Amino acid sequence: MAASLNAGASLPRPLVGLAISTAAGIAAGTLLPLRSPMFMAAAAVAATVFALLARGNGASSGLLHLAAALTASGHAWLSRPGRAPNELHHLLERPGQFMEVVVRVAGYPVRLSPGAESERSWFRFSAVPESVRVAEDRWRTAGGRIEVRMPVSAEVPPPQYGDRWHVGMVVRLGPDGRLGGVVHSRAVRLAPARTEGLLRRIYAQRERSRRALFHGVDGGSRAAGIAGALVLGYREDVPADVRELFLRTGTAHVFAISGLHVGIVGAVLAGLLRLAGVPRRWWAAAMVPLLALYTAATGASVSSMRAFTMAAAWWLAPIFRRRPDPPSALALAAVAILLAAPAQIAEPGFWFSFLVVAALLATGRTSAPAGEPGVGAPAAWRLAARVADLGRASLAAWCASTPLTVYLGNQVAPAAVVGNLVVIPASFLIVLTGCLSLLVHPIAPAVSAALNRANTSFAGGLIAVVEVLFDAPGSHWFVRAPPLWGIVLAYGAMAGWRVLEGRPRRTLAAAAAAVALAGATRYATDSATVIRLPPAALAPAILVDAPGERGDWLIDPGPAWRSDRLLRWLRTRGVDRLEAVVLTVLDADHAGAAEEVLRRVRTNRVLLPATSARSAPVRAMIDRWRNAGVPMESVAAGDAGYLRGGAEWRCFHPPPDASFRRTADGGLWLRLALGGSAVLLAGPATEIQRLYATRQPHGAAATVVVMDRAPAEDDAEWLVEWRPTTTVIRAPPPAWSGVRAVPSVAIFPENDWSLPLR
């Protein structure tokens, strides 16, 4: 890995191989169930010794990479949460436990606005426990790290970096091994930070910059939120509906402080240094520390750390008599981030950031090809060439991010290819204007206000463009995630296409086309109708997954506070439109989330029980739908029809002319049948519903009955009448006995459950 120190020599390309070895070792140490790092340390030492003995041999480089991978693996194992003996993990005796904890705020506190899953405002921040007391036990020292959620209160000052707090909170261990705590009792600030500290000053300056950026404009507007997110990384200022627009069009990457933002700030700094007459060889001495401060002030995300490391390597290379080399700088950034935070290997943001930049580097050009407009060409030709370069870069970034987006987000967004042609230049303009506003604010607040007003106009135009993209046909759709090995093969094919030439490349293209054709054929010929029950936490929601993309039914979306989780689950099933939303019981527990679903998922109609029994909130919601022109149909016993794919639906309750005092009594009983399978959705199965169920005509039967509760002895009569072989319970399994008349009972599991109709 040695390289010449002659002027103009490039950075050592073996850094790329070192990054791959380090990433592989970090992944093994983070994801595999390893029990001890001792054997990895011994193996790393042995590999290093053999590499030194075999110096000059072809195996030496491979042994060094193996040693790097083993060392990184051991480092990742030791960095897992809960390894230290005094960490808070070791005091947890149950999944959720109340503790009194004295913590020190170790991150920037972010204020979360009320949303669909919470009616309160919260502060979220990373904290370091100092001491803890469980129940009436004595206080003891504790270590580790915990993500804290503290409710916003007028009686309690907002937390700041470095403060010490005494809080009572419920601590839970997440599936990734990290601790999270929700403050339930009143929090008391014991003391502010003992010293100002560099980070505390940076965060304070960030708040002052935020006020300067909103000077003269409405800080709560959507456009101002966009400006704050792009310039200073305040993503929490972006409203949920605007985030949804950018996310669905594949342009949400502009909110991450990344190479675009660091590059703009670097360009501004370079211009100032040039005006000040500073020699170019000394620019790095000023730019690298200032870019480091900007990266820390904007949250130090993975993308910003990657961009800063690459920029630092670029500007520092001449000082070490090296030629800047982007692939090596990218590899150096990967190694630095993984060694500092090994858990990033499992974070989607890490992979998105590095895969997209790697694709841009792989498709970039170091020299202009023959025929491209040169410096003396007309301005229109040069502009067209720049637009073509931007289009090629946008297409490369989309190709690099789409497999991971499909796997993690269940989305394909072709709109991103076109959207980036507008979003990236507009973001450049917003960040540049914001930086100029911050620079002139101390000396000319009126000029800063004018720049801020112009900036909000740019941001408003950007939102308008993204809204047009969002509404364009085919701009985005949701799909089911392929298996992980399919994603690995997709990236392998991309890498092979870049590396291979001639016949191997043609063979690879033919194989990729064959696999894509096989997948498309299987998808197009899928004619199954499947009833899907989401995890128990989303009960009572049920999805009737019909063939194609336009025939699905969503039955009972559930309470409003679960709407975000339900929508995420629907997207994992590839649902981006619905034929119908069916509300079997008109109360908040069954129908509360329907309003959010109709707002965010294209739906043709809403089916309701033909009864006047409905709760007040649902009655108001239905009135809003009626005023908005939402197609609604009332369903009663005897109504029937067919779903796409041939499945028949039939209603057995409520009777057309019956009236009920309780909403549950007037709920729908629907049966879905195809071939030899029939599923009855009985919901709460109240006493009045059971009475009507025993009066059904001969032949009313179901192979599966789905209920919202466990059957009791009073259910035996009607269950025998319907003759199910399986009864699925959409509730936690109770301790019940004596129900001998139920042929078979399947307590609904925690994970997805599905039943094909055939």
Task: Record the pTM.
Answer: 0.78
* Encoded tokens for 488: 């690995």
**Residue 470 sits in the same domain as residue 494:** no
Dihedral angle of Cα 204, 205, 211, 215, to the nearest 10 degrees: 160
**Residue 176 sits in the same domain as residue 209:** no
Last residue of a domain, one of 444, 478, 512: 478
Would you state the pLDDT for residue 258?
Answer: 66
Query: What do you get for the CA distance between the two ends of the chain, in Å?
Result: 63
Would you state the pLDDT for residue 371?
Answer: 43
Of 260, 338, 251, 264, the closest CA to residue 302 belongs to 338
**Residue 536 sits in the same domain as residue 664:** yes
Residue 383 lies in a domain: no
Residue 382 lies in a domain: no
Residue 369 lies in a domain: no
CB 95 within 8 A of CB 58: no
Q: What is the pLDDT of residues 411-466, one digit of tens each?
A: 888 988 888 888 888 888 888 898 889 888 888 889 999 999 999 999 899 999 99
Q: Report how far residue 157's alpha carbon sits from residue 165's, in angstroms, rounded to the nearest whole number.
A: 11
**Residue 445 sits in the same domain as residue 514:** no
Q: Report how far residue 492's alpha carbon sits from residue 685's, in angstroms, rounded to the nearest whole number.
A: 53
Q: In the 8-state DSSP scheme, what is residue 18?
A: H
CATH of the domain at 606: 3.60.15.10
**Residue 699 sits in the same domain as residue 594:** yes
Helix (H, G, I), strand (E, B) or coil at 674: strand
**Residue 448 sits in the same domain as residue 490:** no
Using a 10 angstrom Cβ sphere, with 0-12 exposed, 13-18 middle and 19 or more buried, the burial of residue 469 is buried
Residue 373 lies in a domain: no
Q: Supply the DSSP string of 566-592, one letter for each residue.
A: HHHHHHHBT-SEEEEEE-SS-SHHHHT
**Residue 39, domain extent:** 9-79
* Encoded tokens for 492: 């392998």
Residue 207 lies in a domain: yes
Q: Report how far residue 360's alpha carbon sits from residue 396's, in angstroms, rounded to the nearest whole number.
A: 6
> Would the CA dihedral through 582, 586, 590, 591 be positive or negative?
positive
**Residue 473 sits in the same domain as residue 489:** no
Flag residues of the chain having pLDDT under 50. Answer: 1-11, 116-117, 366-372, 735-741
Q: Report how far residue 733's alpha carbon sits from residue 744's, in angstroms, rounded to the nearest whole number.
A: 14
**Residue 211 sits in the same domain as residue 136:** no
Phi, psi for 704 (deg, rounded to 5): -135, 135
CB 254 within 8 A of CB 463: no
- Counting the structural domains of the chain, the total is 5
Residue 488 lies in a domain: yes
Residue 356 lies in a domain: no
CATH of the domain at 119: 2.40.50
**Residue 272 sits in the same domain as residue 420:** yes
CB 54 within 8 A of CB 62: no
Would you state the pLDDT for residue 279?
Answer: 79
Last residue of a domain, one of 158, 173, 194: 194
**Residue 159 sits in the same domain as residue 294:** no
Residue 353 lies in a domain: no
CB 728 within 8 A of CB 708: no
Last residue of a domain, one of 151, 178, 194: 194
Would you state the pLDDT for residue 237?
Answer: 77
**Residue 305 sits in the same domain as residue 446:** yes
Would you state the pLDDT for residue 56?
Answer: 65
CB 235 within 8 A of CB 226: no
**Residue 582 sits in the same domain as residue 465:** no
Q: Report how far residue 51's alpha carbon sits from residue 44's, in angstroms, rounded to the nearest whole number.
A: 10
